[in-house]
Structure 1
Amino acid sequence: MSEYDETVYRTSPGRAAKLMIILVGLVVVGGVIFFALGDYWISELSPAGKAFAGITDEEAAPAVAQTGADIPVTLDFIESKDFRTLAFNALPGEPGNNPTINAKVGDRIIFNILNAGKSFHAFGVTLNEEGFGGILGGTSVAAANNPLKPGEGGTSQFIPGEPGTYYYICTVPGHRELGMVGTIIVE
Protein backbone atom coordinates (compact mmCIF):
# COMPACT_ATOMS: atom_id res chain seq x y z
CA MET A 1 0.00 0.00 0.00
CA SER A 2 1.37 3.38 -0.98
CA GLU A 3 0.61 6.82 0.29
CA TYR A 4 -1.64 7.40 -2.76
CA ASP A 5 -3.97 4.51 -1.99
CA GLU A 6 -5.10 6.07 1.25
CA THR A 7 -8.55 7.73 1.29
CA VAL A 8 -8.30 11.47 1.79
CA TYR A 9 -11.30 13.25 3.24
CA ARG A 10 -11.30 16.86 2.10
CA THR A 11 -14.34 17.95 4.09
CA SER A 12 -17.61 16.67 5.46
CA PRO A 13 -21.14 17.84 4.66
CA GLY A 14 -21.35 19.30 8.17
CA ARG A 15 -18.20 21.37 7.70
CA ALA A 16 -19.37 22.56 4.26
CA ALA A 17 -22.68 23.68 5.82
CA LYS A 18 -20.83 25.60 8.57
CA LEU A 19 -18.67 27.31 5.94
CA MET A 20 -21.76 28.34 3.96
CA ILE A 21 -23.41 29.72 7.11
CA ILE A 22 -20.30 31.79 7.86
CA LEU A 23 -20.12 33.14 4.28
CA VAL A 24 -23.83 34.03 4.18
CA GLY A 25 -23.45 35.70 7.58
CA LEU A 26 -20.58 37.84 6.28
CA VAL A 27 -22.62 38.91 3.25
CA VAL A 28 -25.61 39.82 5.44
CA VAL A 29 -23.48 41.79 7.91
CA GLY A 30 -21.71 43.60 5.05
CA GLY A 31 -25.05 44.47 3.46
CA VAL A 32 -26.41 45.83 6.74
CA ILE A 33 -23.32 48.02 7.18
CA PHE A 34 -23.48 49.25 3.57
CA PHE A 35 -27.20 50.07 3.57
CA ALA A 36 -27.25 51.52 7.10
CA LEU A 37 -24.31 53.87 6.62
CA GLY A 38 -24.38 54.71 2.92
CA ASP A 39 -26.60 56.96 0.84
CA TYR A 40 -27.49 53.98 -1.32
CA TRP A 41 -30.73 55.43 -2.73
CA ILE A 42 -29.10 58.49 -4.28
CA SER A 43 -26.39 58.79 -6.86
CA GLU A 44 -24.56 61.90 -5.83
CA LEU A 45 -21.51 62.87 -3.86
CA SER A 46 -21.67 62.49 -0.11
CA PRO A 47 -21.82 65.68 1.99
CA ALA A 48 -18.11 65.31 2.78
CA GLY A 49 -17.32 64.88 -0.93
CA LYS A 50 -19.33 67.99 -1.79
CA ALA A 51 -17.60 70.02 0.91
CA PHE A 52 -14.19 68.87 -0.34
CA ALA A 53 -15.11 69.82 -3.92
CA GLY A 54 -16.60 73.16 -2.83
CA ILE A 55 -20.10 72.25 -4.06
CA THR A 56 -23.14 73.59 -2.21
CA ASP A 57 -26.69 72.25 -2.55
CA GLU A 58 -28.33 75.64 -2.33
CA GLU A 59 -27.83 78.66 -4.53
CA ALA A 60 -27.78 81.99 -2.77
CA ALA A 61 -31.11 83.67 -3.20
CA PRO A 62 -31.06 87.44 -3.27
CA ALA A 63 -32.52 89.02 -0.15
CA VAL A 64 -36.01 90.13 -1.02
CA ALA A 65 -38.36 92.01 1.29
CA GLN A 66 -41.96 90.89 1.40
CA THR A 67 -44.07 93.57 -0.23
CA GLY A 68 -47.08 91.48 -1.20
CA ALA A 69 -49.49 88.93 0.15
CA ASP A 70 -48.91 85.68 2.02
CA ILE A 71 -49.77 82.66 -0.13
CA PRO A 72 -50.07 79.48 1.95
CA VAL A 73 -49.57 76.28 -0.04
CA THR A 74 -49.98 72.75 1.31
CA LEU A 75 -48.10 70.04 -0.60
CA ASP A 76 -48.16 66.31 0.15
CA PHE A 77 -45.64 63.92 -1.38
CA ILE A 78 -47.48 60.88 -2.81
CA GLU A 79 -46.64 57.86 -4.97
CA SER A 80 -48.57 55.42 -7.12
CA LYS A 81 -48.88 51.88 -5.78
CA ASP A 82 -46.12 50.66 -8.11
CA PHE A 83 -43.85 53.68 -7.29
CA ARG A 84 -43.51 54.52 -11.00
CA THR A 85 -45.39 57.80 -10.70
CA LEU A 86 -44.64 60.39 -8.03
CA ALA A 87 -46.53 63.64 -7.50
CA PHE A 88 -47.65 66.38 -5.16
CA ASN A 89 -51.20 66.22 -3.69
CA ALA A 90 -52.73 63.93 -6.35
CA LEU A 91 -51.61 61.56 -9.10
CA PRO A 92 -51.69 62.72 -12.75
CA GLY A 93 -55.24 62.87 -14.10
CA GLU A 94 -56.70 63.57 -10.65
CA PRO A 95 -57.76 67.06 -9.51
CA GLY A 96 -55.08 68.93 -7.57
CA ASN A 97 -52.08 67.21 -9.20
CA ASN A 98 -48.91 69.33 -8.86
CA PRO A 99 -50.82 72.61 -8.51
CA THR A 100 -49.52 75.67 -10.36
CA ILE A 101 -48.83 78.55 -7.98
CA ASN A 102 -49.41 82.09 -9.24
CA ALA A 103 -47.69 84.92 -7.38
CA LYS A 104 -46.35 88.42 -7.81
CA VAL A 105 -42.86 89.73 -7.10
CA GLY A 106 -42.66 90.28 -3.34
CA ASP A 107 -45.40 87.81 -2.36
CA ARG A 108 -44.39 85.30 0.30
CA ILE A 109 -45.22 81.71 -0.62
CA ILE A 110 -45.38 79.60 2.54
CA PHE A 111 -44.97 75.88 1.83
CA ASN A 112 -46.39 73.38 4.32
CA ILE A 113 -44.86 70.06 3.29
CA LEU A 114 -45.90 66.55 4.38
CA ASN A 115 -44.47 63.24 3.25
CA ALA A 116 -47.76 61.37 2.87
CA GLY A 117 -46.05 58.64 0.82
CA LYS A 118 -44.06 55.54 1.68
CA SER A 119 -40.71 56.63 0.23
CA PHE A 120 -38.11 59.23 1.20
CA HIS A 121 -38.55 62.77 -0.13
CA ALA A 122 -37.09 66.29 0.14
CA PHE A 123 -38.37 69.65 -1.08
CA GLY A 124 -36.95 72.77 -2.69
CA VAL A 125 -37.56 75.58 -5.17
CA THR A 126 -35.32 75.99 -8.21
CA LEU A 127 -34.97 78.06 -11.37
CA ASN A 128 -33.64 75.05 -13.29
CA GLU A 129 -36.02 73.44 -15.77
CA GLU A 130 -34.60 69.98 -15.05
CA GLY A 131 -32.46 68.15 -12.53
CA PHE A 132 -32.41 68.33 -8.76
CA GLY A 133 -29.67 70.89 -8.10
CA GLY A 134 -29.69 74.64 -7.80
CA ILE A 135 -32.13 74.81 -4.89
CA LEU A 136 -32.72 78.41 -3.82
CA GLY A 137 -31.52 79.18 -0.30
CA GLY A 138 -34.14 79.00 2.43
CA THR A 139 -36.66 77.05 0.34
CA SER A 140 -35.60 73.51 1.16
CA VAL A 141 -37.27 71.11 3.54
CA ALA A 142 -34.85 68.26 4.28
CA ALA A 143 -32.23 67.26 1.69
CA ALA A 144 -31.49 64.35 -0.61
CA ASN A 145 -28.85 63.06 1.81
CA ASN A 146 -31.16 63.52 4.83
CA PRO A 147 -34.71 63.21 3.44
CA LEU A 148 -38.13 63.28 5.07
CA LYS A 149 -39.27 59.85 6.17
CA PRO A 150 -42.93 58.86 5.68
CA GLY A 151 -45.16 60.94 7.96
CA GLU A 152 -42.58 63.71 8.48
CA GLY A 153 -43.03 67.26 7.23
CA GLY A 154 -41.80 70.81 7.45
CA THR A 155 -42.28 74.40 6.39
CA SER A 156 -40.33 76.73 4.12
CA GLN A 157 -40.97 80.00 2.38
CA PHE A 158 -40.06 81.68 -0.87
CA ILE A 159 -40.27 85.38 -1.75
CA PRO A 160 -39.64 85.80 -5.49
CA GLY A 161 -37.58 88.86 -6.33
CA GLU A 162 -37.94 88.67 -10.10
CA PRO A 163 -40.72 87.68 -12.49
CA GLY A 164 -40.37 84.34 -14.23
CA THR A 165 -41.02 80.66 -13.90
CA TYR A 166 -39.78 78.75 -10.88
CA TYR A 167 -40.23 75.10 -10.02
CA TYR A 168 -40.93 73.32 -6.76
CA ILE A 169 -39.53 69.81 -6.82
CA CYS A 170 -38.59 66.74 -4.83
CA THR A 171 -34.82 67.07 -4.56
CA VAL A 172 -34.18 63.33 -4.24
CA PRO A 173 -32.48 62.37 -7.53
CA GLY A 174 -34.89 60.76 -10.00
CA HIS A 175 -38.07 61.86 -8.24
CA ARG A 176 -38.54 64.98 -10.35
CA GLU A 177 -38.32 62.87 -13.51
CA LEU A 178 -41.02 60.55 -12.10
CA GLY A 179 -43.43 63.49 -11.70
CA MET A 180 -42.62 65.42 -8.51
CA VAL A 181 -42.43 68.89 -10.06
CA GLY A 182 -44.78 71.85 -10.01
CA THR A 183 -44.65 75.34 -11.47
CA ILE A 184 -44.56 78.74 -9.78
CA ILE A 185 -45.43 81.59 -12.17
CA VAL A 186 -44.32 84.99 -10.90
CA GLU A 187 -45.62 88.21 -12.54
Structure 2
Amino acid sequence: MDADGMTLECGKTIDEISDYLDSGRSPYDPEIETCPDCLNALDALERAGRLSRELIAADAAEMPEPSENWFHGVMNAVRAELRAGRSIPLSHPDPRVSMTVTEGAVQALIRASGDAIDGVFIGHSRIIGDVEVPDAPIAVDITASVAWGESLPTAAGAVRRAVSDALAHHTELNVTAVDVTVEDLHRPFPPKDTA
Protein backbone atom coordinates (compact mmCIF):
# COMPACT_ATOMS: atom_id res chain seq x y z
CA MET A 1 0.00 0.00 0.00
CA ASP A 2 1.34 3.45 -0.83
CA ALA A 3 2.15 6.17 1.67
CA ASP A 4 -1.28 7.79 1.51
CA GLY A 5 -2.89 4.46 2.38
CA MET A 6 -5.19 4.50 -0.63
CA THR A 7 -3.38 2.29 -3.20
CA LEU A 8 -2.83 -1.42 -2.62
CA GLU A 9 0.38 -3.17 -3.67
CA CYS A 10 -1.44 -4.62 -6.70
CA GLY A 11 -2.14 -1.09 -7.97
CA LYS A 12 -5.87 -0.99 -7.18
CA THR A 13 -7.06 1.87 -4.99
CA ILE A 14 -9.42 1.72 -2.01
CA ASP A 15 -11.79 3.94 -4.04
CA GLU A 16 -11.80 1.41 -6.90
CA ILE A 17 -12.50 -1.43 -4.47
CA SER A 18 -15.26 0.61 -2.81
CA ASP A 19 -16.86 1.46 -6.17
CA TYR A 20 -16.73 -2.20 -7.19
CA LEU A 21 -18.40 -3.20 -3.92
CA ASP A 22 -21.06 -0.47 -4.39
CA SER A 23 -21.82 -1.89 -7.85
CA GLY A 24 -22.69 -5.22 -6.25
CA ARG A 25 -19.40 -6.66 -7.56
CA SER A 26 -20.77 -6.44 -11.07
CA PRO A 27 -19.57 -6.69 -13.73
CA TYR A 28 -17.22 -9.34 -12.38
CA ASP A 29 -13.64 -8.08 -12.17
CA PRO A 30 -11.22 -11.03 -12.20
CA GLU A 31 -8.29 -8.79 -11.16
CA ILE A 32 -10.11 -7.85 -7.95
CA GLU A 33 -11.75 -11.22 -7.32
CA THR A 34 -8.46 -13.15 -7.54
CA CYS A 35 -6.19 -10.70 -5.69
CA PRO A 36 -5.72 -11.47 -1.95
CA ASP A 37 -5.14 -7.79 -1.11
CA CYS A 38 -8.30 -6.74 -2.97
CA LEU A 39 -10.34 -9.53 -1.35
CA ASN A 40 -9.14 -8.44 2.11
CA ALA A 41 -10.11 -4.86 1.27
CA LEU A 42 -13.56 -5.98 0.01
CA ASP A 43 -14.13 -7.98 3.18
CA ALA A 44 -13.08 -5.09 5.44
CA LEU A 45 -15.23 -2.58 3.54
CA GLU A 46 -18.23 -4.95 3.65
CA ARG A 47 -17.92 -5.32 7.44
CA ALA A 48 -17.53 -1.56 7.95
CA GLY A 49 -20.55 -0.93 5.73
CA ARG A 50 -22.61 -3.53 7.58
CA LEU A 51 -21.74 -1.92 10.91
CA SER A 52 -22.74 1.50 9.59
CA ARG A 53 -26.10 0.17 8.37
CA GLU A 54 -26.73 -1.69 11.63
CA LEU A 55 -25.95 1.38 13.71
CA ILE A 56 -28.24 3.57 11.62
CA ALA A 57 -31.04 0.99 11.87
CA ALA A 58 -30.58 0.55 15.62
CA ASP A 59 -33.34 1.94 17.77
CA ALA A 60 -31.54 2.79 21.01
CA ALA A 61 -31.86 6.56 21.25
CA GLU A 62 -30.27 6.73 24.70
CA MET A 63 -26.83 6.01 23.22
CA PRO A 64 -25.17 8.38 20.76
CA GLU A 65 -23.81 6.96 17.55
CA PRO A 66 -20.04 6.54 17.47
CA SER A 67 -18.24 9.74 16.58
CA GLU A 68 -16.92 10.42 13.12
CA ASN A 69 -13.43 10.11 14.64
CA TRP A 70 -14.23 6.54 15.71
CA PHE A 71 -15.20 5.50 12.16
CA HIS A 72 -12.12 7.33 10.83
CA GLY A 73 -9.97 5.36 13.29
CA VAL A 74 -11.51 2.05 12.24
CA MET A 75 -10.94 2.82 8.55
CA ASN A 76 -7.31 3.77 9.31
CA ALA A 77 -6.89 0.43 11.08
CA VAL A 78 -8.43 -1.40 8.11
CA ARG A 79 -6.05 0.40 5.74
CA ALA A 80 -3.10 -0.56 7.95
CA GLU A 81 -4.22 -4.20 7.92
CA LEU A 82 -4.22 -4.19 4.12
CA ARG A 83 -0.46 -3.68 4.11
CA ALA A 84 1.35 -6.95 3.66
CA GLY A 85 3.61 -6.28 6.66
CA ARG A 86 6.02 -8.91 7.91
CA SER A 87 6.22 -12.42 6.46
CA ILE A 88 5.21 -15.11 8.94
CA PRO A 89 6.81 -18.49 8.15
CA LEU A 90 4.77 -21.66 7.85
CA SER A 91 6.31 -25.11 8.12
CA HIS A 92 6.27 -27.61 5.28
CA PRO A 93 7.39 -31.27 5.30
CA ASP A 94 9.63 -30.63 2.28
CA PRO A 95 12.64 -28.55 3.42
CA ARG A 96 13.00 -27.15 -0.11
CA VAL A 97 9.60 -25.46 0.19
CA SER A 98 9.36 -22.07 1.86
CA MET A 99 5.87 -20.85 2.79
CA THR A 100 4.77 -17.64 4.50
CA VAL A 101 1.60 -15.77 5.31
CA THR A 102 1.58 -12.00 5.53
CA GLU A 103 0.98 -10.12 8.75
CA GLY A 104 -1.84 -8.26 6.97
CA ALA A 105 -3.61 -11.55 6.24
CA VAL A 106 -3.32 -12.57 9.90
CA GLN A 107 -4.71 -9.18 10.99
CA ALA A 108 -7.64 -9.67 8.58
CA LEU A 109 -8.23 -13.06 10.27
CA ILE A 110 -8.16 -11.40 13.69
CA ARG A 111 -10.68 -8.74 12.57
CA ALA A 112 -13.01 -11.30 10.98
CA SER A 113 -12.90 -13.51 14.10
CA GLY A 114 -13.67 -10.63 16.46
CA ASP A 115 -16.33 -9.05 14.24
CA ALA A 116 -18.15 -12.41 14.16
CA ILE A 117 -19.03 -11.97 17.85
CA ASP A 118 -22.53 -10.50 18.25
CA GLY A 119 -22.43 -6.90 19.45
CA VAL A 120 -18.69 -6.47 18.82
CA PHE A 121 -16.78 -4.51 16.22
CA ILE A 122 -12.97 -4.62 16.17
CA GLY A 123 -11.21 -1.25 16.16
CA HIS A 124 -7.62 -2.33 15.48
CA SER A 125 -5.22 -5.15 16.17
CA ARG A 126 -1.49 -5.29 16.65
CA ILE A 127 0.76 -8.34 16.60
CA ILE A 128 3.59 -7.89 19.10
CA GLY A 129 6.73 -9.98 18.86
CA ASP A 130 9.10 -11.35 16.26
CA VAL A 131 6.67 -13.19 13.96
CA GLU A 132 9.49 -13.94 11.53
CA VAL A 133 11.16 -16.28 14.02
CA PRO A 134 9.35 -19.64 14.34
CA ASP A 135 7.96 -20.34 17.82
CA ALA A 136 8.87 -16.88 19.18
CA PRO A 137 6.34 -15.72 21.80
CA ILE A 138 3.68 -13.47 20.29
CA ALA A 139 1.07 -11.25 21.93
CA VAL A 140 -1.97 -9.82 20.18
CA ASP A 141 -3.39 -6.46 21.24
CA ILE A 142 -6.98 -5.75 20.12
CA THR A 143 -9.32 -2.81 20.64
CA ALA A 144 -13.07 -3.18 20.25
CA SER A 145 -16.39 -1.42 20.44
CA VAL A 146 -19.16 -3.31 22.26
CA ALA A 147 -22.90 -2.78 22.04
CA TRP A 148 -24.47 -0.89 24.92
CA GLY A 149 -26.04 -3.32 27.38
CA GLU A 150 -23.66 -6.21 26.62
CA SER A 151 -21.43 -7.51 29.41
CA LEU A 152 -17.99 -6.05 28.67
CA PRO A 153 -16.04 -8.92 30.32
CA THR A 154 -18.16 -11.49 28.46
CA ALA A 155 -17.70 -9.73 25.11
CA ALA A 156 -13.95 -9.31 25.64
CA GLY A 157 -13.65 -12.97 26.65
CA ALA A 158 -15.57 -14.09 23.56
CA VAL A 159 -13.26 -12.04 21.33
CA ARG A 160 -10.20 -13.43 23.12
CA ARG A 161 -11.39 -17.04 22.62
CA ALA A 162 -12.43 -16.53 18.98
CA VAL A 163 -9.14 -14.89 18.04
CA SER A 164 -7.06 -17.45 19.95
CA ASP A 165 -8.93 -20.32 18.27
CA ALA A 166 -8.59 -18.79 14.79
CA LEU A 167 -4.86 -18.15 15.21
CA ALA A 168 -4.28 -21.68 16.55
CA HIS A 169 -6.23 -23.18 13.64
CA HIS A 170 -4.83 -21.06 10.78
CA THR A 171 -1.29 -20.10 11.85
CA GLU A 172 1.69 -21.59 13.62
CA LEU A 173 2.22 -18.53 15.82
CA ASN A 174 3.14 -19.16 19.47
CA VAL A 175 0.45 -16.86 20.88
CA THR A 176 1.08 -16.30 24.58
CA ALA A 177 -1.52 -13.55 25.15
CA VAL A 178 -4.55 -12.00 23.47
CA ASP A 179 -5.38 -8.70 25.15
CA VAL A 180 -8.72 -7.06 24.38
CA THR A 181 -9.40 -3.44 25.34
CA VAL A 182 -12.97 -2.15 25.02
CA GLU A 183 -12.45 1.43 23.84
CA ASP A 184 -15.98 2.35 22.89
CA LEU A 185 -19.68 1.52 23.20
CA HIS A 186 -22.17 1.68 20.37
CA ARG A 187 -25.89 1.26 19.89
CA PRO A 188 -27.02 -2.36 19.94
CA PHE A 189 -27.38 -3.92 16.52
CA PRO A 190 -30.94 -4.75 15.49
CA PRO A 191 -31.90 -8.40 16.04
CA LYS A 192 -30.74 -10.70 13.25
CA ASP A 193 -33.50 -12.16 11.09
CA THR A 194 -33.61 -15.85 11.97
CA ALA A 195 -36.20 -16.71 9.36
Greater length-normalized contact order (CA 8 Å, ≥ 6 residues apart): 1
Same fold, TM exceeding 0.5? Answer: no
What TM-score, normalized by structure 2, do the two folds share? 0.23
Counting strand residues as a fraction of each chain, which structure ranks higher? 1
Counting helix residues as a fraction of each chain, which structure ranks higher? 2
What TM-score, normalized by structure 1, do the two folds share? 0.23
